[in-house]
């Protein structure tokens, strides 16, 4: 057994196997390894993201079969990565079927592990994934490469791309926006839950989103702020609406895209004076988040990179504006802009 070097940080691992008994057994087995702090997850998969955050997990080992549903683990990993992108996921698979492997990669798994392999191999997998590597067999990697090569290049970049969806896929999206579970959507459309999950995976892939939350943000943006959000046939946005509730939860957790979506929703709706207050509040919050993010990025940049970034931003803003009657030519503008940028950066330093 390998010894943990003195002073090295232990890897915090959260386990969510197919049942509570299997979860506890797997956690007990991994606890014997030095350098791993292992925690079994509760039986409720809906609380897994909160548990991962509470336990400050570095790696989450999830079975694809959760809550007695064959594909639930993939959904949970997508949702977990959306809320906590720094957490790395290892997917436990009972079989190496190509569709299961691809589902795992698309859900964001950094490691794919067969239940038939040894505990020792799982420990190596966890350590490799924690170190930023991908743990998968050559056959599984080949599947991912082939899928990537054969994937159409057309992807939606905003809610206008919803026209990429088929009629049935749109029905699933509308039902999801109403807050229905997979089981309820299946009952409404007269389909199996497995079929609904496959529809959702295809929708995620077509629209370039990773999970339900991102899909709901995209559908929120379908409501143009210059029109009433309530007029959108897709999204319920009342205070009790499930979409707005999900958006609020994600915004409270610090998601900048959720904060923007929430601000735009309140501004567009304006059903009362408080909506403007809420809209302005969330714009202030997201602005502060962006300022901190910019500062963090700038600390890792050279003076030349900062100048280049500011110059590109100035050019982009200038090109977005209508042609000016000023006699300044492009070269004269660029020279002046660079001088101003240099002065600001010098003062900042």
At residue 160 the predicted structure's pLDDT band, cuts being 50, 70 and 90, is: low
Return the higher-pLDDT residue of 348 and 52. 52
At residue 335 the predicted structure's pLDDT band, cuts being 50, 70 and 90, is: very low
- 113 backbone dihedrals φ, ψ, rounded to 5°: -130, 135
pLDDT, mean over the chain:
75
| pLDDT tens-digit series, residues 256-270 | 767 777 777 777 777
The tokens describing 61, both together, are 């080992």
pLDDT of residue 321: 62
Return the higher-pLDDT residue of 232 and 332. 332
pLDDT at residue 61 tops 80? yes
| pLDDT tens-digit series, residues 203-232 | 887 777 777 766 766 665 554 333 333 333
pLDDT at residue 50 tops 60? yes
Rounded CA-CA distance 265/195 in Å is 32
Q: How many other C-beta atoms are found inside a 10 Å radius of the C-beta of residue 231?
A: 9
Residues above pLDDT 70, as percent of the chain: 72
pLDDT at residue 243 tops 70? no
Residue 257's closest CA among 318, 214, 209? 214
pLDDT at residue 333 tops 50? no
pLDDT of residue 151: 55
Return the higher-pLDDT residue of 283 and 218. 283
The superfamily in CATH containing domain 11-150 is Response regulator (3.40.50.2300)
Provide the H-helix boundaries in the chain.
20-31, 48-54, 72-83, 98-107, 119-130, 138-150, 167-177, 182-189, 193-207, 212-220, 242-252, 256-269, 273-298, 303-320, 330-348
| pLDDT tens-digit series, residues 181-201 | 788 888 989 988 888 888 888
Q: How far is CA 266 from CA 238, 246, 252, in A?
A: 10, 14, 15
65-79: average pLDDT? 84
Return the higher-pLDDT residue of 13 and 313. 13
Least confident of 28-32, 144-148, 180-184: 144-148
pLDDT of residue 157: 44
Residue 223's closest CA among 253, 172, 166, 263? 263
282-290: average pLDDT? 79
pLDDT of residue 257: 67
pTM over 0.75: no
């Amino acid at each position: 057994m390998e010894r943990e070097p003195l002073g090295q940080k232990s890897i915090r691992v959260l386990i969510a196997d197919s049942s509570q008994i299997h979860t506890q057994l797997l956690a007990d087995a991994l606890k014997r390894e030095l350098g791993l702090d292992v925690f079994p997850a509760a039986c409720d998969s809906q609380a897994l993201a909160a548990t991962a955050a509470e336990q400050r997990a570095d790696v989450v080992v999830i079975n694809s079969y959760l809550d007695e549903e064959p594909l639930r683990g993939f959904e949970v990993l997508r949702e977990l990565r959306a809320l906590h992108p720094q957490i790395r996921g290892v997917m436990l698979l009972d079989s190496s079927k190509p569709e299961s492997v691809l589902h795992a990669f698309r859900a964001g798994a950094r490691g794919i592990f067969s239940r038939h392999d040894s505990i020792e191999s799982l420990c190596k997998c966890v350590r490799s994934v924690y170190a930023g590597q991908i743990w998968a067999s050559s056959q599984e990697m080949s599947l991912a490469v082939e899928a990537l090569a054969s994937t159409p290049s057309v992807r939606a970049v905003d809610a206008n791309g919803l026209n990429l969806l088929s009629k049935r896929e749109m029905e699933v999206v509308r039902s999801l926006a109403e807050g229905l579970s997979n089981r309820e959507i299946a009952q409404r459309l007269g389909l199996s839950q497995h079929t609904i999950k496959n529809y959702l995976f295809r929708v995620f892939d077509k629209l370039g989103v990773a999970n339900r939350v991102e899909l709901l943000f995209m559908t929120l943006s379908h409501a143009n702020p210059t029109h009433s959000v309530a007029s959108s046939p897709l999204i319920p946005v009342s205070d009790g609406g499930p979409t707005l509730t999900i958006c609020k939860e994600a915004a409270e957790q610090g998601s900048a895209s959720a904060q923007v979506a929430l601000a735009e929703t309140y501004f567009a709706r304006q059903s009362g004076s408080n909506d403007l207050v809420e809209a302005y509040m969330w714009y202030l919050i997201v602005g502060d988040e962006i300022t901190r993010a910019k500062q963090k990025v700038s600390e890792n940049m050279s003076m030349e990179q900062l100048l280049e970034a500011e110059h590109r931003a100035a050019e982009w803003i200038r090109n977005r504006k209508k042609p000016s009657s000023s006699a300044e030519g492009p070269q004269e503008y660029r020279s002046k802009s660079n001088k101003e940028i240099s002065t600001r950066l010098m003062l900042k330093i």
